[in-house]
Chains A and B, each alone.
Chain A
Amino acid sequence: MGAGKSTAIQTLSETAVVSTEAANTDRATADKDTTTVALDYGEITLGPDEKVRLYGIPGQQRFDFMWSILKDRAEGMVLLVNNDAADPIGEMLAFLDEFRDLYDRGGVIVAATRSDVSATPTVADYAAALSEHRPDLVVPVFTVDPRKDDQMRTVLMTLVANIEMRSMFAAPAAAVAE
């Protein structure tokens, strides 16, 4: 909670965002007025016949049923990690495990937020942790300000390219297998 998911959707979406904010009573975890309790939804157009549907989902474990609902339908994920959290690398690894099947069939990008508040871990720290603990994963890592449209679009387009590239590489293998 507090990584900037709702802000990221607001920044990216070309349509009015559907939000499900509720008053936040868990100020110990994140000192903010509201929190997302179901999802944020927005859209971005890629071309005449293509659009990306954007879903932001709650980070709290108690909403993990929303994770299940949405990850089964998703093509990829931008994992926003609050760099100012107590254990951002641990959170990253835990969420990558939780969404492993989405990585396997789509793509995942890690984007560390609030690096202006906490300079560490650095991108190199995240990459090193991935190499050490999840060496089988190829996950790009960025720092990002969810309020910045250009940064969020770069992350999103990287995700789209990542998904398409992995799909292209996977296709010949599948054909051979047949």
Chain B
Amino acid sequence: MSVAPHLDPVVVELGRVALRDMRDVSTSLVYSSFLTDDGFEVVHEPDGRVDPNRFASMASSIQALSEAVAREVHIGTSEYVIIAAAQGHVIQLRVPGHPIVLGALFDDDETLGKALSVSRRCATALATALAARPADAPAGGDAHDHAATGGWPAPTASVTA
């Protein structure tokens, strides 16, 4: 069995780079994290504002619930989860091809569209970096680890609060 993403130092480091790159291009980004499907934090940036473990657990539950809803109502594969609140928003989306989710908290200094754009780029950047790894160093499992979601990318849905 391959190493879980949150226990793989290469995944953690590549994730950290992707999160820092996102922070550099978004003034409204408050907190961001990569997490496993089953709720373990891989890496987060920055420290302080959010409990990383709790955020990872809650984000994985929200991700799973949104995907369950998408399956239930047969809306196919959507792209992200948005929790929109009065003073900010949380965006979640899958890292394509991996059992990893990006969760990002933004304040309301920038538009939701901008936040969504940088989030998508961040998730894609990590996927690209992981794909560039040597073949003998799989990142966070293979497709057989993800029968529960029926392969990647799993469907996601929008949740607005």
Contact = CB atoms under 8 A, between A and B. Distances in A.
A22 B37 contact: yes
Given A37-B37, A63-B57, A65-B58, A25 B5 contact: yes
B68 A18 contact: yes
Given A35-B38, A38-B65, A22 B149 contact: yes
Given A38-B65, A65-B54, A22 B60 contact: yes
A52 B132 CA distance: 50
Interface string A1-35: 00000000000000000111111111100000111
Contact of A20 (B5, B53, B68): B68
Interface stretch (B26-34, B83-91, B140-148): B140-148
A23 B148 contact: yes
Contacts of B145: 23, 33
Contacts of A33: 145, 147-148
Contact of A23 (B38, B54, B56, B67): B38
A65 B6 contact: no
A62 B39 contact: yes
Interface residues of B, number: 31
A129 interface: no
B64 A24 contact: no
A123 interface: no
A25 B146 CA distance: 11
A66 interface: yes
Contacts of A66: 61
B64 A37 contact: yes
B72 interface: yes
A140 to B, nearest CB: 30
B62 to A, nearest CB: 8
B39 to A, nearest CB: 6
Given A22-B149, A23-B141, A65 B57 contact: yes
A23 B57 contact: no
A146 B92 CA distance: 34
Interface centre among B7, B39, B60, B65 (most CB of A within 10 A): B39
B1 A20 contact: no
A18 B72 contact: yes
Contact of A25 (B6, B58, B149): B6
Interface string B44-65: 0000000001101110111111
Contacts of B5: 25
Interface in B63-109: 63-65, 67-68, 72, 99
Contacts of A35: 38
Given A37-B37, A62-B57, 14 more contacts: A20-B61, A20-B65, A20-B68, A21-B148, A22-B37, A22-B39, A22-B60, A25-B5, A25-B37, A33-B145, A35-B38, A38-B64, A38-B68, A62-B53
6 contacts: A19-B68, A25-B141, A26-B4, A35-B38, A37-B64, A65-B54
